[in-house]
Amino acid sequence: MALAKDYASVMGRSNEIMKKALGLDYTDFESGSVAFDYETLMKSTGYTLDEVAKIQGRTGVGNTPLLELRNLSALSRKYAKPGYGARIFAKDEAANPSGSFKARRAACAVAHAKKLGYKGVIAATSGNYGAAVASQAAMQGLECIIVQECYDSRGVGQPEIVEKARKCEAFGAEVVQLTVGPELFYSFLSILEDTGYFNASLYSPFGIAGVETLGYEIAMQCREYIGKDPDMVVCTNAGGGMMTGTARGLMKAGATDTKYVAASIDLTGLHMASDKQFNRKSCTTGHTGFGVPYATDPDHSDVPRSAARPLRYMDRYVTVTQGEVFYMTEALANLEGIERGPAGNTALAAAFSLAQELPEDAVIVISETEYTGAGKHIQPQLSFARENGIDICFGDPKDDKPGENIVLPKDPSYIKCKDADINRFRTSLIKKACGKHEGTPTDADLEFLALETKTDVAFVKEVLGL
């Protein structure tokens, strides 16, 4: 008997579809209340950190170089008080086969799919993860479908997203391109159900376990090259997987004093699911339109419980502007001879500013860079912005208004990241989590929420008025 394929019917079967497509029963981790067993979920992969590293090594993933950005560090010091201006390093994830850190997530997920006997893999992504899954599927002999939110209702696609589709197709994947809106998750579920393929989700424990090797390598390389752990690691933050996996890997390496900073482009006022506003943004990832909702409500992803839970790990959340990221992308190329971006340069723009807060012997590592080219390059992105009525000028980035203009800093002294109110995000997560369940939170729930927000039970009780 054929299953009903209307929107309501497919969405109603989402938990059943997910169970078959991941080989995981998420009910095994639930408490029946707010809390769930996160660490057991992470252990459910069945792979140790060393085993994940070996899986990645078989397809050339990982062991990427750690590069000191000496010229950018020196430039940052010009704007710091005497004795300040930390050394800035970049973990060059563009060296991975698909050109970004997301190859780490894909290698583990695709290898597991093959181990379980799935014929193919599917991922819903407009970003670098699609290329990563397609690359790994090609290496491991599996079929691949990428479901991509690409166009507005006029059929106009952003250059960066179109470029990523091209790369997926180059690796042999089928790319299903959709207009912005709620049909993305419906289409993704429907294709999963029809094909019986593995859900190579960004937010599964397999994906996050893959990123742990990134954090572990940062610790090992810093100890080898510098003789100490990094003082600060800055992660570009969208769905939260980089922050989560990188921090967990550093912790597994015993780096107990490192501070973790999330960095996103401030796109306040632009709605990511708005047809009219879809092409008003000029950076398609690493921005607050993903970073904030995924931090405050991680479980609204494409799995029942997301393994990416960034508020468990971050010490600060800072924002930069589109203009600052474009400027830093050009500076990286001109001063260091490294053409990357744009997503990784969100963290770099923040690190350029944050370095001025720390002494000269401190070490900041940005945990991602990515390949550039075609639509990902800053010139086609700026041209696309002009075509969509965005004003581009040099000036003070504090005058930036997302969807209206892009203000390129008139000199490097104007690159200043801003602290977001992380306690507001923590409060939001606590209230949203409790709002999904009836009754008074248990003691176990309060402990869980304290871990979720990197706070304590007293903070959670104050938020809930207990």
Q: Walk me through the domains of the chain, giving residue ranges and CATH numbers.
A: 7-54+100-205 (3.40.50.1100), 62-98+206-419 (3.40.50.1100), 433-464 (no CATH)
Rounded Cα distance, 175 and 146, in Å: 5
pLDDT value for 184: 77
Are the CB atoms for 386 and 392 separated by under 8 Å? yes
Rounded Cα distance, 404 and 11, in Å: 36
Rounded Cα distance, 411 and 379, in Å: 19
CA 66 vs CA 85, 109, 367: distances in Å: 19, 25, 9
Are the CB atoms for 149 and 160 separated by under 8 Å? no
pLDDT value for 1: 53
pLDDT value for 285: 79
- β-strand partners of 319: 264, 418
Mean pLDDT by 10 residues, the chain (466 residues): 77 83 89 95 95 97 97 98 97 94 94 95 88 96 92 82 88 90 81 92 93 98 97 96 97 97 92 75 81 93 90 98 95 94 89 98 90 79 89 95 94 97 97 91 97 98 95
Q: Name residue 394's amino acid.
A: F
pLDDT value for 384: 87
Contact partners, residue 307, CB within 8 Å, separation at least 6: 38, 41, 42, 203, 204, 205, 207, 208, 209, 241, 244
Contact partners, residue 14, CB within 8 Å, separation at least 6: 189
Q: Which two tokens stand for residue 38?
A: 């996160």
Residue corresponding to tokens 């001879």: 337
Are the CB atoms for 266 and 216 separated by under 8 Å? no
